[in-house]
Amino acid sequence: MTVQILVPLHTYPDGNSAAIAAHVGAVARHLTADVHGLVLNATFPPASSIMGNMLINVESMVREVTAKCHIKGVALVKAMQAELEPLGVDFRSTALDCTLGTIGDAAETIARYHDLVLVGLSGNDVAMQATAETVMFGSGRPTLLVPQDAAPSQFQHVMIAWDGSRVATRAMADAMIFLPLAKTVTIAVVTDEKTLPHENPGMKLAGYLDRHGIDTTVSFVLANRRPIAGALQEHAGEIGADMMVMGAFGHSRMRDFVMGGATTGILRDLKLPILLSH
């Protein structure tokens, strides 16, 4: 089976840069996957204020921004082609015109017909963040978030954030396309954040993966009242992991993990690729 990857490509407000292509190439090469680039061109409703149009030429501004979005979309597709074709990756692209409020919904629907969604994040681009959130919560497919402006990962050391729950199990199962290919797999168990469902969940997962021929190491993490997202990313850095796997704990808690609230908000502080399943 060939893994099918969907890559939403944003053109507004800042949008993705050509740097996303290297991340996509690294993942596609690692998984021997096909890639579908989905260009999401922003569109805008017609100006409704006559007075506003008299003060500034809104329609002209909208046409200019729309044209820039399409030019950027074409450039992103060319960057993907230049990166993927030498690797022998089967690449196709589709372009959709969407209002800002429906960009995430468009990606969510198409994501259901792929095995993995790769979303590049950079800074505080609201369109990227909205797409990541919508796809994670609504598509039913695993989402790999990558820090677009960092160097691409080699996916050689995968850290599984593990608490023995159903959702963590779902994420671990979705990560099975990565785990057998990694040189090192670490199971990270946070011991002071909540009551674990049963004794030694890390060792039990290690036994399960061992029966699949995957060697693992179990490590224990103390959150020490830190936001769980920050504690896990910091631990991943300490052990040299270049990818993390994590399940959603339920919609409200996952939204906190992603957007902020009780946690740092991983969309604004992504340090390494993270595979999330909800």
**Spatial distance between the Cα atoms of 74 and 80, rounded to a whole number of angstroms:** 10
- The phi, psi pair for 63, rounded to 5°, reads -60, -40
Please give the domain boundaries of the chain with CATH numbers for all domains: 4-147 (3.40.50.620), 157-277 (3.40.50.620)
pTM equals 0.90
pLDDT tens for each residue of 137-188? 899 999 999 999 999 999 999 999 998 988 899 999 999 999 999 999 999 9
Work out whether the CA dihedral 58, 98, 16, 79 comes out positive or negative.
Answer: negative
Whether the bond into 147 is cis, omega within 30 of 0 = no
pLDDT tens for each residue of 205-243? 999 999 999 999 999 998 888 888 888 999 999 999 999
